[in-house]
Chains A and B, each alone.
Chain A
């Protein structure tokens, strides 16, 4: 079974600082990986996805992630944090085949941005 691990539950950065949210995956097949963001009392919004094309993936809101097979990692970064980036972030891996393939999520990381 595929899985993702998000170490730590909370990251706090200053506005303008680098954001780094870690995600490691476990997969017996080439993985499809995703990062989602969730604001309070809302659903999840896709930030970016890796589907075996370029290893450096750019997403919305200035976020990007790099797929590193040797490290089984897919860390999310943003060069300069903004107050509006404060939210919950989830890494996910697609598991299964075809239309019924489901997403398995990590536990999520809460990002706080200090003024």
Chain B
């Protein structure tokens, strides 16, 4: 149980275009989802926390107008990278937990490798 599905797994886009990444909780409802970004040889950086039916909470330094997050239902959150540039190339991973207990682990999707040319 507790499966998080992320799509697409890889995407290549041209500079200036937008890319949407989907994150779905397949067998549980997730009122909260978390979007992380991972740089090569680096740890995971939390970008934002998305809450179903409300605005996402962005971490300091993350451009909310560039990284649009929508959490329209209890099983789907989307991250849209707008006007992508080569420096946005990275590995993006979403996650969610079952329930609201902070001791419950996050379950992660398989990530999306974004390459901007």
**A contacts, CB < 8 Å to B:** 9, 32, 34, 36, 41-46, 49, 51-52, 90, 94, 96-108
Does B82 interact with chain A (Cβ within 8 Å)? no
Residues of chain B whose beta carbon lies under 8 Å from any beta carbon of chain A: 4, 6, 31-32, 34, 41-44, 46, 49, 51, 57, 91, 93, 95, 97, 99-100, 102-103, 105-111, 113
Which of A46, A49, A90, A100 sits near B51, CB closer than 8 Å?
A: A100
Min C-beta distance of B42 to chain A, whole Å: 7
Interface centre among B93, B102, B109 (most CB of A within 10 A): B102
Is the Cβ of B108 less than 8 Å from the Cβ of A45? yes
B-side contacts of A105, CB under 8 Å: 43-44
Q: What is the distance, in angstroms, from B26's C-beta to the closest C-beta of chain A?
A: 14
| 9 residue pairs A–B, Cβ–Cβ below 8 Å | A41-B113, A43-B93, A46-B105, A99-B97, A100-B57, A103-B46, A107-B42, A107-B43, A108-B42
Cβ-defined contact, A99 with B107, below 8 A: no
CB distance A42 to B111 under 8 Å? yes
